[in-house]
Structure 1
């Protein structure tokens, strides 16, 4: 089966699937990251719809389970689901998954409070800031190496919403997030008047 979608497909199909179901249905984990992925029928976001249409070309239907990102990855990794939507292709995931072709390009921008005078050009420029990160996200090799080396102060949580609240409250200075997702989330949280983002991308990649 050829799929032109970046879905991470687990090496071994989930053992509890009935044989007849596995021939006509794939079960994928997903996360709420609108407008790309969202727990709202009928299409479940732009990426989910692309994935569904691609599998439909092979007469295969798709069902989605929505979870926090760490759980979404773990369920697929353990073979309790057939795969997961949608991730950047990186070495530590390649040990457990096959990756499809890319679905969409995306980037992370650095969000900051509007009352903060912020500009940057290189990762080294970020060393004086407190930066919030979300668990299981990929922020680019150079940035993640700086975090691992301790030259960048990072505080990791499991929730994008939590990071935006911390940013608004002044508990962190910067938060990298995909701009379209971030602006929509800020509107939902009622924080659009307090937070904006710098147009220089921290990382550009594909899902």
Structure 2
């Protein structure tokens, strides 16, 4: 009897240990619409990450932190990875990166009633000098717009810029595609179709990936398993399907 009981306990402990080994700790923060505790499935990036780990045989346990804390947890090995992060030479000194899950690109948004005939494409920003374009302090495009001597108007944030666009006080507002679609939906619910964006991107695609720890147990194996599952998702179309479910207006999909 005791032998059977001990065997059952040992088997139970082994099963629990095996289950624990399949849990992977991840760190992230608030960056809607990519990831947020307030969004369905916690955002498009969180849904992709969770599904890829599920396919790889892991249960993703996500912790929402400040962005400096996510990096600290990952570097110290308390989290297997943090997301979403852009690979940079500085970060690659301390971390390993997955293949990109998505790419971010900025576009110029406009309000159709006030700009019924926008330039659908442009070869140079010089072609946009006749348009009133929103800017915000600290954004990457400021020196670019200055070099091309564009007609810019300082706005406090993207929400204010969109409101000025809606009132006809501005012609164009630069925003990352998914961020722009998200902001329009929340600032002007029901009026999303009144807005669009010029198809020529302002910048090159920037990769968004998982930033993996080098100290977390079996980090290299976890990263490889994740990469294989992500490749499978791209091959069978589920990666594209998740993206389009979150951003049906976005074309072309990333």
TM tier relative to shorter chain: 0.5 to 0.7
Shift of 1:110: 0.9
Give the Cα separation in 2 of the matches to 1:97 and 1:135: 26
Cα distance per residue 1:119-159 (max 9 Å; x no partner): 233233344533335866x6xxxx565147584447475x5
Counterpart position of 1:62: 61
Question: How much does 1:162 deviate?
Answer: 3.4
Specify which structure has the higher proportion of helix: 2
1:4 equivalent in structure 2? none
How far apart are 1:29 and its partner, in Å? Answer: 1.9
Larger Rg: 2
> Which residue matches 1:8?
none
SS at match of 1:124: helix
1:124 equivalent among 112, 115, 126:
126
Alignment correspondent of 1:76: 70
Structure whose residues are more often strand by fraction: 1
TM-score for both structures, normalised by structure 1:
0.59
- 5 Å-filtered alignment, 1:19-98, equals 24-33=24-33, 36-40=34-38, 43-56=41-54, 57=56, 59=58, 61-65=60-64, 72-77=66-71, 79=72, 82=79, 84-90=82-88, 98=96
**TM-score after normalising by structure 2:** 0.51
Q: Distance in 1 between matches of 2:111 and 2:105?
A: 20
RMSD: 3.9
Counterpart-to-counterpart distance in 2, 1:150 and 1:95: 35
CA drift of 1:102 comes to 0.3
Query: Would you say the 8 A contact 1:31–1:85 is kept in 2?
Result: no
Q: Contact (CA 8 Å) 1:113, 1:195: kept in 2 or not? A: yes
Q: Counterpart of 1:110? A: 108
Post-superposition offset of 1:60: 5.5
Structure 1: tracts of 5 or more residues without a match: 1-19, 67-71
> SS of 1:43's equivalent?
helix
